[in-house]
Structure 1
Amino acid sequence: MANAVRTVSRAAIYCRGGSHEAQGRLCKEEILAHENWTLADTYADAEIPDSQTRDSRTAFNRMLEDCRKGKLDKIVTISVSRFARNLPDGLAILRELAAAGVTVHFVKESIDTESLLAQAVRE
């Protein structure tokens, strides 16, 4: 895993929807609460309604591209619902990110894929 040798995770914030500023503040607080995380960038799709497809989420797609380029180690987002519109799409994205060594932290659900990946490696 790419961030296994890193002592500091380059974390990005992802926000979507009308409350993106409040989401961003909460995500930034979460990053600051972890001494080994540093804020690398913020990606916000401010006015993207739930009915829109992933193609219209330009900030999200730019963030994924930055992950593919190795610029990020972790994504911090307020909730699963802000990250992906449906389970199949969300799982596909999480698999792609895991393959790139990028983990995702969902603040409201207190889920971090880093611990899930570590458990899968041990098994």
Structure 2
Amino acid sequence: MKKVTKIAETASSKVKLKKIRVAAYCRVSTDSDAQLESLDAQKTHYGNYITSRDDWEFAGLYYDEGITGTKKDKRPELLRLIDDCKAGKVDFVITKSISRFSRNTTDCLELVRKLLALHIPIYFEKEYIKNR
């Protein structure tokens, strides 16, 4: 029979992995009841999705209500999200789809590049696109 030696656990072996601070961005373009229900559904979904992961820490839910996605400068919550990313408060961003993030291709690319420059990936859930 082989001899088995038990190695005692040390304080240094109890390394805690840093949780990823995840934020979600949601947007609806009108204040109609259907759109507001969609916004509530998005907020609930992402709140539950982020908090269900042991390796994630909820970093915030940012949402613009009744605002078009064509102009980033008109969306205060999107701008606040970007500012929080710059401030080091967010490690990863998730959103429902590219169209919820931005309807303007140039703005979308600019924002994605800005996040990438900060080493913050973004996940577009509907399209299954995650950049790194």
- Matched residues in 1 for 2:52 and 2:125: separation? 12
Relative to the length of structure 1, the TM-score reads 0.78
Contact 1:13–1:27 (Cα < 8 Å) also in 2: yes
Cα deviation, residue 26, structure 1: 2.2
Larger Rg: 2
Relative to the length of structure 2, the TM-score reads 0.73
What is the match of residue 58 of structure 2?
39
- Matched residues in 2 for 1:103 and 1:48: separation? 24
- Matched residues in 1 for 2:108 and 2:120: separation? 14
What is the match of residue 23 of structure 2?
12
Answer 1 or 2: higher relative contact order, Cα 8 Å, separation at least 6.
Answer: 1
Contact 1:97–1:103 (Cα < 8 Å) also in 2: yes
Amino acid at match of 2:129: I
What is the match of residue 92 of structure 1?
110
Cα deviation, residue 49, structure 1: 2.9
- Matched residues in 2 for 1:90 and 1:12: separation? 17
Amino acid at match of 1:60: L
- Matched residues in 2 for 1:29 and 1:91: separation? 28
| Structure 1 gap segments, 5+ residues each | 1-5, 118-123
Q: Between Structure 1 and Structure 2, how many residues are aligned?
A: 108
Percentage of matched positions with identical amino acids: 35
What SS is found at the alignment partner of 2:88? coil
Higher relative helix content: 1
Moved over 4 A (4+): none
